[in-house]
Structure 1
Amino acid sequence: MEDPMSLQEQSTLVVEFLDGLLDAFDLDADVYAERVDDETMEMRVENVQGVGLLIGPKGNTLRAVEDLSRMLVQRKSDGNCEGRIRVDIGGYRERRRAALEAFCEKIALEVRDNGAERPLEPMNAADRKVVHDVVAEIDGVSTVSEGQEPRRWVVIIPD
C-alpha cells in the first residue's frame, strides 16, 4: 500500500487546478495555500476581480469549486490522502462565518428573553455547526437540528 498523499502534495494539486480555473474565466488573482492546523490546508484565492462569479449565490459556486478540488485530489490519490482541503475565495468564508455568528447571537438572545423557540433557514452542515457552537456559549438557550439533508435546519430553543 502506498503512503497517503500529503497535504502539501494535495495543496500543490489544488493550487494548479484553481490557477487553471481562473485562467479559464480570464480572471487575475493570487492563489496560495495556508495551513490551518495539523490536518487542514486552505487554498485561498485573493485579489480577484469578479469574485462574485466564483462565489455564487449563498456561496454555492464556491462550494462547487471546493467539491471539484476534493474530487481531483481523491482521483489523483486513489482515495489515499491525509487531512482536509478547503477553498476560500476573497475571504468569503470568514465574512460569512462572522455574519452568521452575529446573527445567531442576536436570535439566541431574543429566544432567551421572550421564551419562544426560533427555527432558522435550512443550511449546510458547516453553517449549522457555527450556529450550535455560538449558541452553546450563551446561557439559557440551546439548539437542535431538524429535517433531512439537504434541507436540514437548526432550531434555537429556550432552556
Structure 2
Amino acid sequence: MKFVSGLVEAMGFEATTSLQSNGTELDVVVNGQQLGLLIGPGGRTLLSIQNLARVAAQRRLGDHDTRLRVDVAGYRARRKAALEEFAAKLVADVKTSGVSRALEPMPSVDRKIIHDALSGVDGVSSRSEGDDPYRRVIVSPASTGDS
C-alpha cells in the first residue's frame, strides 16, 4: 500500500488509500477527486500501476502467491457493469445478424468479464484469440460450432 500511496502522492493527487486483506488477496483502494489520470484510457494506467504494485509487494513480502488488485474510485465495479451491458447488447446483435463479432483487443480481466457475461446465454458462444496485447474476444452464433 505504501507503494501505491507514494505513487499517488508523487503524481500530485490528493487521495486516501486503504488496504483490505482476504487471505491470499490484497485489495488496495484509492479514493479522491479527479483521479481519472490514475485510471487511464480503458483502465490501462490502472493495470500498469497494479502490476508495479504487485511486483513491489511480492519483493517486499517474498510471496508470489498473493494476488494484489488496485482500484481507483470504484472504477472496477463501473467497468464491470459497462462491459456486462455491452455484452448484453452484443448478444442481441449477434443473434439478430447471425454474424460473428470480433471485439477490440482488451486486457484479460475485461475478456473474462465478457466471457462470464455470455457463458449462460443460449444462442451465442465466445472465445479469445490472438496474442497479448492484441488478444480479443470473438462472439459467434452458437450454431456455427464455435466455443
TM-score (norm 1): 0.82
Matched, 1:61 2:49: no
Runs of 4+ in structure 1 deviating by more than 4 angstroms, as ranges, are none
Query: Aligned AA for 1:21?
Result: L
Query: Counterpart of 1:110?
Result: 93
Q: CA RMSD in A?
A: 1.5
Query: Counterpart of 1:157?
Result: 140
Matched, 1:71 2:55: yes
Q: Give the whole-Å Cα distance in 2 for the aligned partners of 1:39 and 1:139.
A: 35
Query: Counterpart of 2:76?
Result: 93
How far off its partner does 1:81 sit? 4.1
Asked whether the 8 Å contact 2:18–2:29 carries over to 1, the reply is: yes
- Stretches of structure 2 lacking an aligned partner (at least 5 in a row): 143-147
Q: Give the whole-Å Cα distance in 1 for the aligned partners of 2:106 and 2:71.
A: 18
- Stretches of structure 1 lacking an aligned partner (at least 5 in a row): 1-14
How far off its partner does 1:24 sit? 1.3
Query: Counterpart of 1:30?
Result: 16
Q: Give the whole-Å Cα distance in 1 for the aligned partners of 2:40 and 2:15.
A: 17
TM-score (norm 2): 0.88
> Which stretch shows the higher mean deviation, 92-101 or 55-64?
55-64
Higher relative contact order (CA 8 A, sep 6+): 1
